[in-house]
Chains A and B, each alone.
Chain A
């Protein structure tokens, strides 16, 4: 399985976990187009923080790699790496690939 597929699988598991704790109107669709930041986002800021922190932990637990999203100053901006689920998957894949090439 390539990085992208593994990242998507992790994202889907985290979304499932998060959705179980959210009221129906706030639940996320597991689609690359799902908007995470801005006016069209279903999640509030606390929900987004939960998603990001859970992703960091899951990637460490399941893929054995440390990726740091929470220190990125652009993280929560509308054009940033968390703007959609698809964009987030791209960003995480890139971080993992870059990390691998440094090892």
Chain B
């Protein structure tokens, strides 16, 4: 394959792959800790599948004895909490932990108050566990499909088993709302449906106390792993699509926009329109879209402009490469333009040759096998688990607009004579806020997603971050950036810890979207000024090298402020700021402070 690459293509691909060579992509990093499996049934099969599944994150399970649910939830010294076990899957059968429901399942008249009290007690125990772990995964309660309860009356309020079960799951969800940052209730019903008629295995149950077939556990493992990966910041952020026979039916260059299969009353037309609506729905989850297509650009632009059934507008795409160049090279260009990593990308193309080529050239890009039948496109898109993220911030939802603003910003930069002129005309405003409940989800997201401008690349859940920031002698500031072109949202974090007579900058995290606009200098200004006010003598920062954070080192070395000291015993070079003089705020930047 590679011999057909042009020099430019080969260079682009090599450049994109270079930072990752010799180590797996960052999303494939093994989990930092083990995961406890707490269950009222024999979870041995689930534990094995979690351990052996090759997809990231790698896991090491610790199973509590089956039937033992409340002791490991409530007791931090329980044997399942070995060193490094900092997450849990709590999977129970409703009749196993809610005795009043077991009576209802045997068609005794349900005592709804008792059921509600027992459900609250269970949820509270889960919340207690969540307070001392990184995260808890809680599959919803299900009953076997053969349990028909009251038959045609089974959805009746206060009587039906199905009705009770739905209420119990919702009650747990409501009760857990306050702990939503560390407890994730996963819908187990689709696992059973995909496993088919043998989802509940009576033989495994009676012989080994395993209620579900392995097919159920295999589905569960996929969702559990994608949730854990999402918590580590590994969710994909960009979908790059081909056009002809992918976004619409037909070759636009041959048949013109009038001849495309899209919408209308034909089954295929409806399928393509539905696929486009599926992509549009991803935009609403904060996922970016881009086009990479071998095509005549004029014909494509005309199709977007004129086709009455087009569900996506050109503005919905944050970048596009419509030309006859190699698709792998085009993908690399798009990723560079959007300041993302290849590990953020999903590439969708109907052509198996193009898929194979991109897989080979860019192994970090997720290239799903795509159905040959076009009516299955929407379903294939909906089944992708790679977008699971623990929260969606306003920055995520606004990302497409932010990239459009960035294109206008760059256009202005090209027109002006110097970077300083450009920065002055941007009218930058930086709002500094302490860490609090409202900005915690976005702050944690930034912590876990930022690779390049990141001093120490610490990865922390929301709960861990909040706990760390509230420690004695620590301050953590978040930075929201806006300019005349728009609001980039919360894009920076700096934290300072006072240790005796010195301060230590523990985190310096800045989204690459705003890097290079002197926001990084404003962040240092805030931290160093605070250290001066505390009367500290100096401030230090240790740069912890990763495969991707050299821009942070370059930034620190490019400043006259800190003195660099090489220390072999530490991870990387140490930078020391003398606080006898002020670290000034960059000119032309307006700082708004709160708290």
| Contacting residue for B203 out of A23, A45, A46, A56, CB 8 A | A56
Q: Tally A-B pairs: CB < 8 A.
A: 33
Contact of A21 with B214 in the complex, beta carbons under 8 Å: yes
**Distance in Å: Cβ of B348 to nearest Cβ of chain A:** 28
Chosen A-B contacts, 14 in total, with CB atoms closer than 8 Å, are A21-B49, A21-B52, A22-B48, A23-B48, A23-B51, A46-B42, A46-B44, A46-B45, A46-B210, A49-B204, A49-B207, A53-B203, A53-B204, A54-B214
Q: Is A50 located at the chain interface by the 8 A CB criterion?
A: yes
B interface residues, Cβ below 8 angstroms from A:
42, 44-45, 48-49, 51-52, 198, 201, 203-204, 207-208, 210, 214
List residues of A (30-50) whose CB comes within 8 Å of B's CBs. Answer: 45-46, 49-50
| Contacting residue for B45 out of A23, A50, A57, CB 8 A | A50
A interface residues, Cβ below 8 angstroms from B:
20-23, 45-46, 49-50, 53-54, 56-57, 70
Contact of A53 with B52 in the complex, beta carbons under 8 Å: no
Quick one: given A50-B45, A53-B204, are A23 and B52 in contact (CB under 8 Å)?
yes
**Distance in Å: Cβ of A62 to nearest Cβ of chain B:** 14
**Distance in Å: Cβ of B4 to nearest Cβ of chain A:** 36
- What are the residues of chain B within 8 A of A50 when measuring CB–CB? 45, 204, 214
Please report whether the interface of chain B is mostly helix, strand, loop or mixed according to DSSP: helix
| Contacting residue for B201 out of A22, A46, A53, CB 8 A | A53
Q: Considering the chains assembled together, what is the distance between the CA atoms of A46 and B208 in angstroms?
A: 7
- What are the residues of chain A within 8 A of B204 when measuring CB–CB? 49-50, 53
What residue in chain B is nearest A56 (Cβ atoms)?
B203
**Distance in Å: Cβ of A61 to nearest Cβ of chain B:** 10
Q: Considering the chains assembled together, what is the distance between the CA atoms of A53 and B23 in angstroms?
A: 41
Contact of A70 with B203 in the complex, beta carbons under 8 Å: yes
- What are the residues of chain A within 8 A of B52 when measuring CB–CB? 20-23
Q: Considering the chains assembled together, what is the distance between the CA atoms of A96 and B181 in angstroms?
A: 55
- What are the residues of chain B within 8 A of A46 when measuring CB–CB? 42, 44-45, 208, 210
Q: Which of B51, B207, B210, B214 has the most CB of A within 10 A?
A: B207
- What are the residues of chain B within 8 A of A54 when measuring CB–CB? 214
Q: Considering the chains assembled together, what is the distance between the CA atoms of A57 and B214 in angstroms?
A: 12
- What are the residues of chain B within 8 A of A22 when measuring CB–CB? 48, 52
**Distance in Å: Cβ of A49 to nearest Cβ of chain B:** 5
